[in-house]
Amino acid sequence: MQVHELAPDQNQRGMTVITGASTGIGRGLAIELARRGEFVALLARRQNLLEEVAASICAAGGRAIVRPCDVTDRAQVLAAFEELERKRGPIERVIANAGGGYKVPSERLSGADVEAMLAVNLVGAVHCVEAALPGMLARGRGHLVFMGSLAGEVGLPQAAAYSAAKAAVARLGEGLRVDLQPRGIDVTVLMPGFVRTRDRRKRRPFEMPLARATARMTDTILDRRPICRFPWTLVALLAVAAILPTRLRDALLRRTGKRAVRSRG
Ligand SMILES: NC(=O)c1ccc[n+]([C@@H]2O[C@H](COP(=O)([O-])OP(=O)(O)OC[C@H]3O[C@@H](n4cnc5c(N)ncnc54)[C@H](OP(=O)(O)O)[C@@H]3O)[C@@H](O)[C@H]2O)c1
């Protein structure tokens, strides 16, 4: 596979690799980071969509390159990162955003569902760490960004596997931060609530428009803050839920949570 050069390389700061940049939040983060001057490398499986994102970034005066890659395939990830660094210089930051999940009624939950959600959300992120971290450690600087979710803070009805995968991503990021911060590597865990990435018939609880969510996450990323949890209303509700008696909390989740798991989040 080729690296598609869509802009001249004036890269001073090192590039930001964003996985899952073909649609949704990853696309939004790529556009916003490029608008603020970052040189972005866009990864996902659908090359045609990545090229549309890169073209719109370049048309607006930003810098972007495209590299198709399936993050669940370790060899593909290692090859993509190696090629990007060889051709375009050091990777300063990786945003392991590729991911998602789906609703599974608990009585039908299978190992295959859990494996599929862990493969893209957790193992895919670890492949990116494996590929980028040696260079970052050698340079004594770098930034790893993980895409968790507020869904990882509580076991959501019919989304137990997705909640488990996102809880694992958050713990992964925390553990790496403790180890790596003294060695010059910053780690950020993004924990959004529902973000409106496409038109849906029904709004999900406290859903945030994509542009607002990506601006918020971009601020956190560029400031290299350790964590970003939003919207505050949902964060506050989760804090209250955490101190409720478990049976009461479960009953509330059962009643109100059903709407919340009609799709990813
Ligand atoms: N939207 C929300 O409400 C919300 C809330 C909290 C957290 N999140 C998290 O935010 C991230 C982005 O979600 P989104 O809502 O923007 O969903 P989305 O629009 O479906 O985007 C998912 C992205 O991941 C890519 N992807 C999926 N599997 C991949 C694989 N095996 N290898 C490489 N790329 C892969 C997809 O591209 P290709 O199909 O082209 O590969 C796509 O670019 C996910 O981790 C999600 O769990 C979303």
Question: Over the stretch 107-119, which tens digit does the pLDDT of each residue have?
Answer: 999 999 999 999 9
As a whole number of angstroms, the distance between CA 246 and CA 136 comes to 43
pLDDT of residue 4: 46
Q: Is the CB of 153 under 6 A from ligand 1?
A: no
- Mean pLDDT of the region 76-81: 98
pLDDT of residue 263: 41
- Mean pLDDT of the region 81-85: 98
Atom of ligand 1 nearest to the CA of 50: 40
pLDDT of residue 259: 54
Q: Considering 162, 163, 216, 228, which one is annotated as catalytic?
A: 162
Protein residue whose Cα sits closest to atom 19 of ligand 1: 24
Is it the case that residue 2 has pLDDT exceeding 80? no
- Mean pLDDT of the region 240-257: 89
Domain boundaries, the chain: 7-199+206-260
Protein residue whose Cα sits closest to atom 5 of ligand 1: 265
The DSSP annotation for the chain comes to ---EE-S----SS-EEEEES-SSHHHHHHHHHHHHTT-EEEEEES-HHHHHHHHHHHHHTT-EEEEEE--TT-HHHHHHHHHHHHHHH--EEEEEE---------GGG--HHHHHHHHIIIIIHHHHHHHHHHHHHHHHT-EEEEEE--GGGGS--TT-HHHHHHHHHHHHHHHHHHHHHGGGTEEEEEEEE--EE-S--SSPPTT-EEHHHHHHHHHHHHHHT-SEEEE-HHHHHHHHHHHHS-HHHHHHHHHHHHHHHTSS--
Q: Is the CB of 26 under 6 A from ligand 1?
A: yes
Q: Residue 158, Cβ neighbours under 10 Å: how many? A: 19
Question: Over the stretch 4-53, which tens digit does the pLDDT of each residue have?
Answer: 444 444 446 799 999 999 999 999 999 999 999 999 999 999 999 999 99
pLDDT of residue 12: 60
Residue of 17, 71, 78, 97 to mutate, ligand 1, most atoms within 8 A of C-beta: 97
d(CA 224, ligand 1 centre) in Å = 22
Q: Is the CB of 62 under 6 A from ligand 1?
A: no
Percentage of the chain lying above the pLDDT 90 cut = 85
Is it the case that residue 264 has pLDDT exceeding 90? no
pLDDT of residue 256: 72
Q: At 257, is the pLDDT very low, low, confident or very high (cuts 50, 70, 90)? A: low
Q: Is the CB of 23 under 6 A from ligand 1?
A: yes
Q: Is the CB of 163 under 6 A from ligand 1?
A: no
Q: Is the CB of 161 under 6 A from ligand 1?
A: no
- Mean pLDDT of the region 69-98: 98
d(CA 138, ligand 1 centre) in Å = 30
pLDDT of residue 201: 76
pTM of the predicted protein model = 0.94
- Higher confidence at residue 61 or residue 201? 61
Question: Over the stretch 135-155, which tens digit does the pLDDT of each residue have?
Answer: 999 999 999 999 999 999 999
Clarify whether 102 is annotated catalytic.
no
Query: Which CATH code, of 1.10.540.10, 1.10.287.310, 3.40.50.720, 3.50.50.60, is assigned to 7-199+206-260?
Result: 3.40.50.720
Mean pLDDT, the chain, whole residue set? 92
